Amino acid sequence: MNVLEVSDLKKHFPIRAGLLQREVGRVRAVDGVSFHIAEGETLALVGESGCGKTTVSRCILRAQSVTSGAIRFRPEDGREVDLATLPKRELRPLRRHLQMIFQDPYASLNPRMMVGDIIAEPLKVNGVPAAERQARVLELLELVQLPASARTRFPHAFSGGQRQRIGIARALALHPRLVVADEPVSALDVSVQAQIINLLLDLQDRLSLSMLFVAHDLGVVRHISDRVAVMYVGRMVEVAPTDALYRSPRHPYTEALLAAVPAPDPARRGRRIPVTGEVADPARPPPGCAFHPRCPYAVERCRTEQPNLGEVEPGRWVSCHRAKELSLAGVA
């Protein structure tokens, strides 16, 4: 059963200019993206800045309107809604099923509220009685491994890692169907990051969380996700089970991304050849496949014809004209 099915999602931002603010072009931030998240599954959405991964997550949360496409969400068994077209009024009761973990644990907690009240806030808004709220807050603090005494303290008394735990407790308060985590560990130091990664792994096991994990760090992603979706300039280039994607990528951009990560092992030094060029401008994407100017395998067809995401083997989708003939290098 899929919790979320995104199909052909597009989000274009108009570029306006001149006295009359006429539309002179469009930034195709997200340009036809499809993927799904099964119940209990963590899907990582990866890519470099400007690839549209954050825009996708904002569309799902409807923090952003959608240009076209469908975002089918199953808040409860037997019910399905399209978040892309749902009127704002009908969106509100769904919010409890769709929660978010933010990147910056310093900016996302109200400094004037006690931690207990921060975690209880979503419960209160959704009409959970006070006595029940108390019990649930204690349960949640235990779940994220914070002491019960944290309830009566303010966010500033906590370190970055502890604040991220508070944010996670708040997101889980209402047993959401889907959690969207946007770079939840990228602001943390390595030693603290490891704690939060382990906590998320525990929570996946204990609560069978369904999660969209937006991230740029491919190391973190390998630890935490069941499947990975790779984006490049507004489009999906590859979707695959995590281990398969790292061991044998099928899209040249995935290969380039993996090769670019410096491995913490001096013996592997100098073995990689970095991809040349820079990420294309989504306001003026190159014709054909957007990756072709940087792709060492590009042929004439890649310069003119845009490839579509197709299933090259069960569970593996790739958007590359040469997906079936190329043999690309992964990391063991």
Closest CB 20 distance from other proteins, rounded Å: 26
Q: Determine the interface stretch with other proteins among 62-70, 117-125, 157-165, 314-322 (rule: CB under 8 A).
A: 157-165
Answer yes or no whether residue 329 interacts with other proteins by CB under 8 A. Answer: no
Answer yes or no whether residue 161 interacts with other proteins by CB under 8 A. Answer: yes
Answer yes or no whether residue 260 interacts with other proteins by CB under 8 A. Answer: yes
The only residue of 35, 213, 246, 317 in contact with other proteins, by rule CB under 8 A: 246
CB nearer to other proteins: pick between 169 and 188: 188
CB nearer to other proteins: pick between 132 and 205: 205
CA distance 4 to 71: 7
Per DSSP, what are the bridge partners of residue 82? Answer: 72
Answer yes or no whether residue 55 interacts with other proteins by CB under 8 A. Answer: no
Closest CB 181 distance from other proteins, rounded Å: 15
CB nearer to other proteins: pick between 201 and 299: 201
Answer yes or no whether residue 298 interacts with other proteins by CB under 8 A. Answer: no
Answer yes or no whether residue 325 interacts with other proteins by CB under 8 A. Answer: no
Closest CB 327 distance from other proteins, rounded Å: 20
Closest CB 221 distance from other proteins, rounded Å: 8
CB nearer to other proteins: pick between 90 and 243: 243
Q: Determine the interface stretch with other proteins among 3-11, 78-86, 188-196, 319-327 (rule: CB under 8 A).
A: 188-196
CB nearer to other proteins: pick between 36 and 272: 272
Q: Tell me the C-alpha to C-alpha distance, in Å, between residue 316 and each of 3, 242, 325.
A: 19, 10, 15
Closest CB 236 distance from other proteins, rounded Å: 18
Interaction site with other proteins (CB under 8 A): 48-49, 159-162, 189-195, 197-198, 201, 204, 216-220, 222-224, 226, 242-243, 246, 256-269, 272, 274-276, 278-279, 331-332
